[in-house]
Amino acid sequence: MKKKCIFLDRDGTINVYKRLLHNKNELVLEEKAAEAIKMVNNSDYLCIVVSNQPVVARNLCTLEEALKINEFLRELLYEKNGAYLDDIFICPHHPDSGYPEENKKYKINCNCRKPRTGMIEEAVSRYNIDLSESYIIGDTTIDIMTGINAGLKTILVNTGLAGMDKNYDVEADNVVKNLFEAVKLVIER
């Protein structure tokens, strides 16, 4: 039986946006983010994070350190409200190369970097997700474009970059104040 999923961006959606976050001590939850995720946990939706993490390719941290930041996020969510994430997928790659400090191993043009759908496809394969019944919630036009590319319903939150990145000329299906309001909208449908 296929499952429904709410895919979440991380930076600017779950946690307060900090450009190129690469230290777990800089991670602070957005207001009511843990409550929002707990609401997903109490529903029939999976809660999966899909996040571009170019800090690895830029050599600001190792892949292991990036994964530790995600573990710290899990700890914060659980401590705050008993909330949990069903999974976290990250893309450590970045397509632009030529910088002296970069980690060349991760400077590739991959299929997993949003707005491409590699992370979502992997989640679909692993968890048998029905994309037509699923959502993506994020703070950038990149997240919204990812949702469009994957056939998801899209919600833009007015936290983080609040769609002001202007990378893509797209409109979300819904625009709301924050993650809590986004999840409430989904659950109440």
Contact 128, 134 (CB under 8 A): no
Rounded-to-integer distance, Cα 92 and Cα 82, Å: 28
HSE, side-chain direction, 13 A CA sphere, residue 77: 24
The structure tokens 């809590």 sit at 180
Would you name the residues annotated as active-site residues?
Answer: 9, 11
Residue type, 149: N
Separation between Cα atoms, residue 69 and residue 22, nearest integer Å:
8
